[in-house]
Amino acid sequence: MKTMLKNLAVGAVAALGLASLSPVAKAEDPIRIGSFLSVTGPAAFLGDPELKTLELYVHQLNENGGLLGREVQLVHYDDSGDASKARTFVTRLLRQDKVDLIIGGSTTGATMAAVPVIEQARVPFISLAGAETISTPVKKWVFKMPQSDRQAARRVLTDMKERGLTRIGLISGTGGFGASGRNVTLEEAKAMGIEVVADETYNPKDTDVTAQLTRIRNTDGVQAVLNFDFGQGPAIVTKNYKQLGIELPFYQSHGVASDSFLKLAGDAANDLRLPATALLVADTIPDSDPQHGVVTGYKKAYEDRYNSSVSTFGGYAYDGFQLAVQAIKQAGSTDPAKVRDALESIRGYVGVTGTYNLSAKDHMGLSYDSFRILEVKDGHWTLVE
């Protein structure tokens, strides 16, 4: 209970005080938070935990007296992963529902389809999708919660450098995620003085990549291997890596930082490292860690309520919602321009994804070291110090 309260503290405790002071609170108009997420369709694994998280915390906020003494209302539409639907729903949120702020866009496609409409309407928008284009260049009304793949690449390369590994092999899928990951890895490696000596690709639906891995293994001087992709491809790469008996340190990207990857890859995943948010090691994170309270609190609240395990994606929704609450509180109203300015001024918010330092130049606010390096030991994630 204590941890739960602590987590709610961001907005709820203060609001509780306000609410008890003003008994007429409920008579005022509710604060309307709009949302469009991919709750069904191919991106449902993103949208489903995101919506559940928003519903959970909106409910809790209202139980504790709402925000600024007003009730918070969540207006939600399911874009089912379809960008053109996302655009329609955002228009409806802005024109018809007249929402004060929008949290949503599970996929980059849905987010980018909504951006022009939102920029025109001048309403703060917190996106839950990952691509760099969402926040680079900075768009006045658009913020985003997840790290970009560039940060993941930099985190992995930093860890390699710390271990003295400077000549690496890269194997990536040819799908959107893998191809973009390959590009940023090559750029970041160049900037950091790491040489990519082997650069192989595979089709995301391939069932065997031993030929590519053999090429990497036989490259002169290769010291470590990075696989950048998501879905089942990396599980096959991991199995093949083990099958070939390659002894070099092996890295995966944040794209497979989930328990389902461990289940697919089985024993072969042991000893590999990858960048992930602290949420994945919520059970073992030390008490002294600044994220300890927020991560364990969110995990417990979510798993108690929904009886299914927490995911990184729901974590983005948690951070987005808490930042929105904090910004509205700080602005003292729902005036869009004031809320936007307040969002932009938030520094040092400790969330489940990392510590956010937003600014006029950075609408994402996380640095690459918000990613933790995890290592798989006996089929479990462990934090590498």
Partner 1 sequence: MFSEFFQFTFSGITLGAIYALVALGFTLIYNASHVINFAQGEFLMIGGMGTVVLVGAGLPLPAAMVGALVLATVAGILLHRLAIAPARDADVVTLIIITIGASIFLRGLAQFFWGKEYHALPRFSATESLSIGGATLLTQSLWILGIAVVLVVALAVFFSRSKLGKAILATSMNKDAARLAGIKTQVILGVAFGISALLGAAAGLIVTPITFTAYDVGIMLGLKGFVAAAIGGLGSSTGAVVGGLLLGLSEAYTAGYISSDYKDAVPFVIILAILFFLPNGLFGSRAAERV
Report the interface residues with partner 1, using CB under 8 A: 42, 44-45, 174, 200-203, 205, 207-212, 214-215, 218, 231-232, 235-236, 243-245, 260, 263-264, 266
Least Å distance, CB 379 to partner 1, is 13
Give dist(CA 370, CA 353) in Å, integer.
7
Judge whether 85 and 39 are in contact, CB under 8 Å. Answer: no
Least Å distance, CB 82 to partner 1, is 16
Least Å distance, CB 334 to partner 1, is 37
**By C-beta, is 4 or 45 nearer to partner 1?**
45
Give dist(CA 369, CA 133) in Å, integer.
20
Least Å distance, CB 191 to partner 1, is 24
Tokens for 172, please give them: 């990536």
Judge whether 16 and 65 are in contact, CB under 8 Å. Answer: yes
**By C-beta, is 163 or 205 nearer to partner 1?**
205
**By C-beta, is 216 or 301 nearer to partner 1?**
216
Least Å distance, CB 178 to partner 1, is 12
Least Å distance, CB 255 to partner 1, is 13
Least Å distance, CB 91 to partner 1, is 29
Least Å distance, CB 236 to partner 1, is 7
**By C-beta, is 72 or 256 nearer to partner 1?**
256
167 class by beta-carbon count within 10 Å (0-12 exposed, 13-18 middle, 19+ buried)? middle
Least Å distance, CB 365 to partner 1, is 32
Give dist(CA 46, CA 313) in Å, integer.
6
**By C-beta, is 201 or 312 nearer to partner 1?**
201
Phi, psi of 101 (to 5 degrees): -160, 150
Judge whether 102 and 126 are in contact, CB under 8 Å. Answer: yes
Distance in Å from the first CA to the final CA of the chain = 30
Diameter of the chain by CA atoms? 74
**By C-beta, is 108 or 172 nearer to partner 1?**
172
**By C-beta, is 184 or 209 nearer to partner 1?**
209
Number of C-beta neighbours around residue 106 at 10 A: 34
**By C-beta, is 118 or 171 nearer to partner 1?**
171
282 class by beta-carbon count within 10 Å (0-12 exposed, 13-18 middle, 19+ buried)? buried
- Per the DSSP assignment, residues forming a β-bridge with 377 are 380
**By C-beta, is 79 or 200 nearer to partner 1?**
200
